[in-house]
C-alpha cells in the first residue's frame, strides 16, 4: 500500500461563501428583534449561509452515518460491556430501537449504518459492509491498524460521504459504535495533544473508578510502546492507537469539507477523530459545528484543543451520534427564524432609537 493511497486527504476543503454569509449577517440586523438577541442562533444561521452559499440557508435533508468497529484493546478489560454488543447494536440500529434510530426518525434524517470493522461475520441486513478486517489489533501490543486497514477505513469515511451527497444530503451527522472505543479515542487524543492519558481516560460506558485508573495505565503504556511522546502526527496516531470506525470518522470529516457539506460533530470519539481530521487538513474547520459537551472527561480537552464551543451541555455520553442529533433541532430553528421572521420594514415596527 503506497503512502499515496491517502493523498486525497490533502485536497483542499471547499471554501465558504463569504458573500452569502455577509448577506445573512445583514439580514439578521433587520429582523424584528434587537440585534444579537437570538445569540448563537444568529451565528449558526450566518455560518450555514456561508456553507450553503445562500443568504437563506436551511436543513432539509440531514443524513446520519454511524460507523461501527471492534477493538482488540478490549482484551485488556477496558470496557464495561462485552464486545458482542457492537454486533447486537448494529441490529438494534437498523431495527429502530437504538437512541440514534429514534433521534433520526424524529429529525426526519436518513440513517446509514456502516460496518467498517466489527467482529460480525455476517453483517445484518440493512447495514452497509465496508470492511477488510474483523476488529482492530490490541494496541497495547501492536499497531491497531495496518497501513492497508488505515487507508481502507479513511476511504470508508469518504465513501459514506459521497453516498450521502449523491443521495441529496445537505447536512451531515456522524456517530460511532464500538465496544472499547473510548480507550482508542483517549489514546488518539493523548497522542495528538501530548497530554497525559490519566487526564483523558474516563468511565466510557460505565467503568468503576479503579478500572478507569487501570484503563489510563494501559493507554499510557501503549503510547510509550508506540514511541508516542509529545505531539504525534495524525496518520501515525490513527494507525497505531485508534480503530476502524475512528479512522472512518476522520476520513468522513475531511471528505464532508471537501464536498462542501456542513457537519455536526458528536461527542468524545467523534471530536477526537475531528481533531485528527483537522491535523490532516486544517480547512476542515469551517465545516464543523460541535454539538455537545460529553460527560466523558476527555471531551473537554479535545474541544479546548480545537477551540470549539459546543451547542449543548446535557451530560450525555452515549455516542452513536446521539448528541449531534439532539443539537440538530437548534440549527434547524436557527434557519427557520432567519428566513421566517419579518423585518422592521415589512412589519412596520420602529427600530432602535439611535442614541
Give catalytic residue positions.
Answer: 320
348 is a site residue for a second copy (CB under 8 A): yes
Min CB(164)–a second copy separation in Å: 22
Matching residue, cell 470518522: 249
C-alpha cell at 47: 455560518
Phi and psi angles of residue 222, each rounded to the nearest 5 degrees, phi first:
-65, -40
Helix (H, G, I), strand (E, B) or coil at 56: coil
Min CB(65)–a second copy separation in Å: 19
C-alpha cell at 244: 476502524
| Comparison of 280 and 331: residue with beta carbon closer to a second copy | 331
Which pairing describes strands 171-177 and 62-69: parallel, antiparallel, or unpaired?
parallel
Are residues 189 and 76 in contact, defined by beta-carbon separation less than 8 angstroms? Answer: no
Per CB under 8 A, which region of 50-58, 156-164, 203-211, 270-278 contacts a second copy? 203-211
Are residues 163 and 252 in contact, defined by beta-carbon separation less than 8 angstroms? Answer: no
Work out which of 1, 10, 40, 221 binds a second copy, going by CB under 8 A: 40
Distances (CA, A) of 336 to 15, 57, 326, 339, 346: 24, 9, 17, 5, 17
Count of residues of this chain found to bind a second copy when the rule CB under 8 A is applied: 62
**Residues 84-103 contacting a second copy, CB under 8 A:** 84-85, 88-89, 91-92, 95-99, 101-103
Give the DSSP letter of residue 173: E
317 is a site residue for a second copy (CB under 8 A): yes
CA distance 334 to 41: 5
346 is a site residue for a second copy (CB under 8 A): yes
Residue 25 zone, left/alpha/beta (φ > 0; ψ -120 to 50; rest):
alpha
Characterize 264-292 residue by residue with b for buried, 16 or more Cβ atoms within 10 angstroms of its Cβ, and e for exposed: bbbbbbbbbbbbbbbbbbebbbbbbbbbb
| Comparison of 32 and 220: residue with beta carbon closer to a second copy | 32
Work out which of 5, 14, 23, 80 binds a second copy, going by CB under 8 A: 80
> Residue 180: which of 96, 252, 118 has the closest Cα?
118
Work out which of 105, 129, 213, 304 binds a second copy, going by CB under 8 A: 105
**Residues 318-337 contacting a second copy, CB under 8 A:** 318, 322, 326, 329-330, 332-333, 336-337
CA distance 146 to 307: 31
Work out which of 18, 129, 141, 342 binds a second copy, going by CB under 8 A: 342
Tell me how many degrees the CA angle 80-84-89 measures, rounded to the nearest 5. Answer: 90
33 is a site residue for a second copy (CB under 8 A): yes
Work out which of 11, 106, 221, 282 binds a second copy, going by CB under 8 A: 106
Matching residue, cell 503510547: 223
Work out which of 139, 311, 321, 324 binds a second copy, going by CB under 8 A: 311
Min CB(120)–a second copy separation in Å: 14
What character string, x for contact with a second copy (CB under 8 A) and - otherwise, covers 236-275? ----------------------------------------
Give residues in contact with a second copy (CB under 8 A): 31-41, 80-82, 84-85, 88-89, 91-92, 95-99, 101-103, 105-106, 205-206, 208, 295, 311-318, 322, 326, 329-330, 332-333, 336-337, 340-342, 346-353, 355
Amino acid at each position: 500500500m503506497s503512502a499515496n493511497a491517502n493523498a486525497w486527504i490533502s485536497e483542499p476543503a471547499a471554501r465558504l461563501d463569504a458573500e452569502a454569509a455577509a448577506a445573512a449577517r445583514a439580514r439578521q440586523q433587520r429582523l424584528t428583534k434587537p440585534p444579537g438577541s437570538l445569540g448563537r442562533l444568529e451565528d449558526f444561521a450566518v455560518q450555514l449561509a456561508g456553507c450553503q452559499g445562500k443568504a437563506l440557508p436551511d436543513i432539509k435533508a440531514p443524513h446520519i452515518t454511524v460507523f461501527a468497529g471492534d477493538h482488540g484493546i478490549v482484551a485488556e478489560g477496558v470496557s464495561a460491556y462485552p464486545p458482542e454488543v457492537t454486533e447486537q447494536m448494529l441490529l438494534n440500529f437498523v431495527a429502530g430501537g437504538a437512541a440514534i434510530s429514534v433521534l433520526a426518525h424524529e429529525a426526519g434524517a436518513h440513517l446509514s449504518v456502516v460496518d467498517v470493522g466489527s467482529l460480525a461475520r455476517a453483517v445484518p441486513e440493512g447495514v452497509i459492509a465496508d470492511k477488510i478486517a474483523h476488529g482492530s489489533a490490541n494496541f497495547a501490543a501492536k499497531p491497531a491498524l495496518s497501513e492497508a486497514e488505515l487507508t481502507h477505513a479513511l476511504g470508508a469515511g469518504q465513501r459514506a460521504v459521497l453516498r450521502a451527497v449523491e443521495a441529496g444530503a445537505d447536512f451531515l451527522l456522524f456517530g460511532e459504535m464500538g465496544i472499547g472505543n473510548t480507550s482508542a479515542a483517549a489514546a488518539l487524543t493523548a497522542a495528538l495533544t501530548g497530554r497525559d492519558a490519566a487526564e483523558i481516560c474516563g468511565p466510557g460506558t460505565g467503568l468503576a473508578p479503579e478500572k478507569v485508573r487501570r484503563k489510563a495505565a494501559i493507554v499510557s503504556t501503549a503510547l510509550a510502546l508506540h514511541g508516542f511522546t509529545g505531539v504525534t502526527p495524525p496518520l501515525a496516531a490513527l494507525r497505531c492507537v485508534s480503530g476502524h470506525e475512528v479512522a472512518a470518522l476522520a476520513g468522513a470529516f475531511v471528505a464532508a469539507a471537501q464536498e462542501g457539506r456542513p457537519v455536526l460533530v458528536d461527542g468524545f470519539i467523534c471530536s477526537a477523530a475531528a481533531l485528527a481530521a483537522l491535523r490532516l487538513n486544517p480547512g476542515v474547520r469551517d465545516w464543523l459545528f460541535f454539538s455537545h459537551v460529553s460527560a466523558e472527561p476527555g471531551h473537554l480537552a479535545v474541544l479546548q484543543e480545537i477551540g470549539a464551543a459546543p451547542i449543548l451541555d446535557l451530560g450525555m455520553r452515549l455516542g452513536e451520534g446521539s448528541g449531534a442529533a439532539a443539537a440538530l433541532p437548534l440549527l434547524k430553528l436557527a434557519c427557520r427564524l432567519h428566513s421566517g421572521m419579518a423585518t422592521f420594514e415589512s412589519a412596520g415596527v420602529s427600530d432602535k432609537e439611535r442614541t
